[in-house]
Structures are given as C-alpha cells and as structure tokens.
Amino acid sequence: MDLSLVIQTITISAVPVLFAITLHEAAHGYAAHHFGDNTALAMGRVTLNPIKHIDIVGTILIPLMLYLIKSPFIFGYAKPVPVNFGRLRNPKRDMIWVALAGPTANLFQAWIWGALLYILNGVGINEFFFIEMCQAGIKWNLLLAVFNLFPLPPLDGGRILVGLLPWRYADPISRLEPWGFFIVMALAIIGVINDLWLNPLMYLSLQLINLLLTPLALLVG
C-alpha cells in the first residue's frame, strides 16, 4: 500500500469528517436542549468543540483499520450525545426531532460542501487538495446521514421510527436497542445495508443535493 496515498486520503478527509461528526452530535444536543432536556448541556456536550465528541476507537482507529484493509464498508462513530428522553416536554414526539437533528445537520453540510465546490470551480480554483476535500465533505456527510437513518435503534432512524409508530408497535422495536448495534454490524457484513440502504439512498440524496445546488450552478457556470 502506498503510504503517501494513505496520508493524502486521511489529510483530505480529516476536516470534513471532524465537522461531520461534531455538528451531527452537537445538533442532537441543541435539539434536546430546545425540547427540554438539559442533560447534554450539563455535561458540556452542547458544543462545537470536536474534542468533546471524538471517540479514539470509534472515530479514529476503527475507520482507519477498515480503510487499510480495503473494507467495502467504512464504519465509525463518535461519542453519542446523552439524551434523557423522559425529560423532553413531549417525549414520543420530541424524540423524532432530536433524532432528525443529526442527519439534517449532515445533509446541510453536504449542501455547503457542494456549494463550495461550485464556487471554487466558478472562480477558476482547481487545486486538487481543495476539490477533493469538497468531494469528501459531500460523501462523508451523506454517508453519515443515510447510515444513521437506518430504522433500527440506537441509530437515529430507529428512534424516529419508535416516535412515529403507535406504542404497541414501537415498544417491541425500542426493546431491540441493546442489540441494535450488533444487528446493524451483521447486516453490514453480509452486504444488506450497503446494497439495500446506503447505496440507493446516498444516490438519491446526492441527486437532491445537486437539485438544490442548481441555482448556484447556473449563477457561477
């Protein structure tokens, strides 16, 4: 493996990934605070300081290892922002908004990176490093948003599903949370998440981002 290529890839992705995980987790904390739960605020997690959200193993070591072994599925995680759903003013309803906040922050960042890419091209800046960083920003944010929307707790999509369903259906799904991580990993290993969830939804999300960027593309084109 070309060490210089590995270092270049890590350098290009470092800033987008740090922003992606930081704003994702901070968005959960801000939303929880808005809807009545101050747990994350009291623990200093409602912050844009990336150090507060980085997990050495989940954010750095696991993704790096998967990249080095050329895994088709790159996975990582940050320290989850603590949310006491019982403190929310309307727990079942507000749970949906708190869970949506993280992926929404990533979709917004993907749009920002896309806009920056169009602006750089529009003003004639074709520096490889900056172009690749913008493309990495789009990719990593879409990946984080779509992956977290998978409808199984403890992922955001699972919490959204629990909030939307009547309690008689939501309760058995919520009880899967202690094993949800292992179920998701198993589905990822056998290719279900990539083939049936990540790839099609990332494609659709990218089309949506491109559609939203159409006015800017026409302006700077």
Q: Which residues carry out catalysis?
A: 25
Determine the Cα–Cα distance for residues 42 and 46; give it in Å rounded to an integer. Answer: 8
Q: What's the token pair of residue 174?
A: 């919520």
User: How many CA atoms lie less than 13 Å away from 92 in the CB half-sphere?
Assistant: 10
Burial, 206: exposed, middle or buried (Cβ in 10 Å; 0-12, 13-18, 19+)?
A: middle
Q: What's 127's DSSP letter?
A: -
* End-to-end Cα distance, the chain: 38
Q: What's 152's DSSP letter?
A: S
Determine the Cα–Cα distance for residues 203 and 166; give it in Å rounded to an integer. Answer: 31
- Contact (CB, 8 A) for 117 and 135: yes
Within 8 A by CB and 6+ apart from 26, the residues are: 45, 46, 47, 48, 53, 81, 105
What interhelical angle do 128-148 and 91-122 show, nearest 10? 160
Within 8 A by CB and 6+ apart from 118, the residues are: 213, 216, 217, 220
